[in-house]
Amino acid sequence: MSTFTVPTAREVFELLREDLVAVEQELGRDAASSVSTITEIAEYLREGGGKRIRPSLLLLAAHQLDYFGHSAIRLGAVVEMVHTATLVHDDIIDGAETRRGRPSANTTWGSEKCVLAGDWLYMQAFKVALEERNLRILDLLINLTQQMVEGELLQIQKLGKMVSEAEYYDLIFRKTACLFSISMRLGAVLASATEAEESALGAFGRAVGLTFQIVDDVLDLTATEEVLGKPVASDLREGKATLAVVHAADHGTAADRNAIRRVLDDRSFENVSRQQIREILERNGSVEYAMAAADRYAEQSRQALAPLAESEFKRALLWVPDFVVAREK
């Protein structure tokens, strides 16, 4: 890769290809249980794909600081298991019927089995992490789990209600950005990073995670069902007010606010259509507002890396915010 340019997706994939293959193999071993239902659900979720962005961030953080040991593979699988467990629980809570264009696990196996499979994945992630015999790693993972559970509970409390921008950002930090940040910090811990290095990498992960979730929320409102692999505007229909919706409610007319509140109250588009909501967002420039916020956090993430030495791994990290902003699903 050139010293002066951000790499392409192909170059980043080649840089991590062997590591990510090893992470997949680790996931296959770690997700096997003596109880066949757990193994079936875990394998179904693993085969569902996903970008593996969290293990990739952990690997890049470790490699940036010259750590290339197997523990990075092991902890890459750990953060992916934690992420998978949260998806299982989210789908149960939301009553989701699809995930990445396939029936959700809870649709196939039922909520009772899936909530327990999600619990098992959480505990298995901690069991694997314990093999590191490193209290700092466990401390980070415990803090992460608390933040994510608190975020899910806060979101349930806010369902059907308008939230402020500050509340929105707190929610998406807990539910998404915290895991990005901890993934980076785990890579730094493996490399025996200085406090400044770990802080810089953690700040990068936080900003990228916020970018990721803001874009994800925008795509929920603007993409097609075929691309998303789930119904469009699912968040609003489930009673979740995301950034573009909050902006439209704050800056729109009284009629705009009433229409948005009606959908949040109804948890459906029976009285206010998806098209009407799209028109409200368009009229108030709300999607553009949300994407501008994503761009700001993407730039913040790049700036967080400024103190770190130049390397092919740093350049790969600099590619991540561009990928996150430009993605279509």
Name residues whose C-beta falls within 8 Å of residue 195's C-beta, 6 or more positions apart in sequence: none
What are 2-12's pLDDT values in tens digits? 445 778 888 99
Whether 299 has a pLDDT exceeding 50, the answer reads: yes
Phi, psi of 13 (to 5 degrees): -60, -45
Q: Residue 322's pLDDT band (boundaries 50, 70, 90)? A: very high
User: 159 and 239 in contact (C-beta within 8 Å)?
Assistant: yes
* pLDDT exceeds 50 at position 1: no
* CB proximity list for 328: less than 8 A, separation 6 or greater: 219, 223, 227
pLDDT at 310: 96
The structure tokens listed for 185 are 């910090």
- DSSP notation for 53-89: HHHHHHHHHHHHTT--STHHHHHHHHHHHHHHHHHHH
Q: Average the pLDDT over 191-202 and give the result.
A: 98
Distance CA 163, CA 170 (A): 11
Query: What average pLDDT does this structure show over 150-174?
Result: 96
**Confidence check: pLDDT of 65 > 60:** yes
Higher pLDDT, 228 or 36: 36
DSSP code of 96?
A: -
Q: What is the pLDDT of residue 98?
A: 84
Q: Name the pTM for this structure.
A: 0.94
pLDDT tens for each residue of 40-55 = 999 998 888 778 999 9
Mean of the per-residue pLDDT values of the chain: 94
All domains of the chain, ordered by start, with CATH?
A: 9-326 (1.10.600.10)
Please, which pLDDT band fits residue 295 given cuts at 50, 70 and 90?
Answer: very high
Average pLDDT rounded to a whole number, residues 63-68: 98
User: Which two three-digit tokens encode residue 15?
Assistant: 């840089």
Q: Are 293 and 184 in contact (CB under 8 A)?
A: no
Per-residue pLDDT for 96 more than 90?
A: no
Mean of pLDDT values over 179-202: 98
Residue 254 scores a pLDDT above 60 = yes
Structure tokens at 174: 């807990």
Which residue has 């980043």 as its token pair? 12
Looking at residue 167, what is its pLDDT?
97
pLDDT for 2 equals 41
Q: What is the pLDDT of residue 228?
A: 66
Mean pLDDT, range 114-140, rounded to an integer:
97
Residue 259 pLDDT exceeds 80: yes
Per-residue pLDDT, 4: 52
